[in-house]
Amino acid sequence: MSEKTSMLEKIERIDRRVIYVVLIIAVIAVLLNPIGLPVPVTSPTIKYRDAISSLPPGSLVYIAVEFEAASLPENGPQLEVTMRLLIKHNMKFVLASLRSGGPAVAQIYLDKLKGVIDSSGKRYGEDFVLMPYLVGGETAAAALAKDFKSTAKTDLYGKTVGDIPILRNVKDAKDFSLAVCITSGTPGVEEYLRQWVSPYNVPMIVGALGVAAPTYMPYFSSGQIKGMLGGLRGAAELEILAGAPSAAVSSMDALSAGHLVTIIFILLGNVVFFLRKREGKVK
């Protein structure tokens, strides 16, 4: 047996666990030391940024946190960079959710951004507030739009809405300059389009899972949605536009590294296959 043939046989017999280990090492290494691969910024993301940055300072923004823990890898960075951008442009915002797990994930990112919030001088109740889970799906979305205070009577911590400065003058959806819907599905985009955008003409932007983004493109093309983030890629694009590369950008690097390792092993397998075929060892 030639040395070349022996080497090809060894490559053929590489344990799949070795491939998994190489893949894991590559992903972890890039996560810890991001490469900074270029991420071209798309039009929906630019429009998303513009919808926020074009608002007058002090504008009130409604953020619908319509996702739970299972969607944190994609929707989480979208929420984080959106709040960073709102804080940077001196906006006020209300976090609310029609999903039972929504307030919990919103709290995760408020805690994560505590340093940014404190350094910017933002104060809970005056510049931002977190509402409890609002039961009822689309019915709740409609009720909020019609009479906010009668629907959401307290914040997540039980404080009466009338005693929260940021909410004292809020009556209905028209008191919000922008609605942001970061969603993993239903309830989500369609409910707010029907209950906030169409009746009250509230501008809306959307953060969606990568697999769902094409579904919402017709709404973006028609102007019903003013901007959109598609999956982790969209969050990374917004981080770049905001000048604050963070989890999404490093995760995109890790994703690219994982793809690269996979492609290398696929190419290696095909090269070995054709060389062995030339030797007559495979048919």
pLDDT digits (tens, 9 = 90+) for 76-132: 999 999 999 999 999 999 999 999 999 999 999 999 999 999 999 999 999 999 999
Cα R_g (the chain), whole angstroms: 24
Do 106 and 30 share a structural domain? no
Do 219 and 177 share a structural domain? yes
Helix (H) or strand (E) holding 95: strand 92-97
Give the per-residue pLDDT at 275. 75
The type of residue at 225 is I
Do 234 and 131 share a structural domain? yes
| Helices and strands (H, E) in the chain, number of each type | 13, 6
The whole-number mean pLDDT for each consecutive block of 10 residues of the chain, a chain of 283 residues, reads 64 77 77 71 96 96 96 94 96 96 96 95 96 94 94 94 93 96 91 96 96 94 96 90 77 70 81 74 56
Q: Which residues form the domain of 29?
A: 3-35+252-278
If you search the block for the tokens 């029907």, which residue do you land on?
Answer: 194
Do 138 and 99 share a structural domain? yes
252: its two tokens? 């995109």
Nearest C-alpha neighbor of 126 from the set 154, 165, 90, 88: 165
| Domain count across the chain | 2
Kindly report the CATH number assigned to the domain that includes residue 62.
3.40.50
208: its two tokens? 């969606």
- The Cα 62–Cα 75 span in angstroms is 16
Nearest C-alpha neighbor of 211 from the set 75, 100, 96, 106: 75
Instruction: Determine the angle formed by the axes of helices 43-53 and 72-88, rounding to 10 degrees.
Output: 40
Do 111 and 221 share a structural domain? yes
Do 109 and 30 share a structural domain? no
Give the per-residue pLDDT at 19. 79
Give the per-residue pLDDT at 267. 83
179: its two tokens? 């609605």
Do 47 and 23 share a structural domain? no
CB crowding 80-95: b at 16 or more within 10 Å, else e: bbbbbbbbebebbbbb
- The Cα 80–Cα 83 span in angstroms is 5
Do 139 and 28 share a structural domain? no
Do 117 and 221 share a structural domain? yes
Do 125 and 265 share a structural domain? no
Asked if residue 137 belongs to a domain, the reply is yes
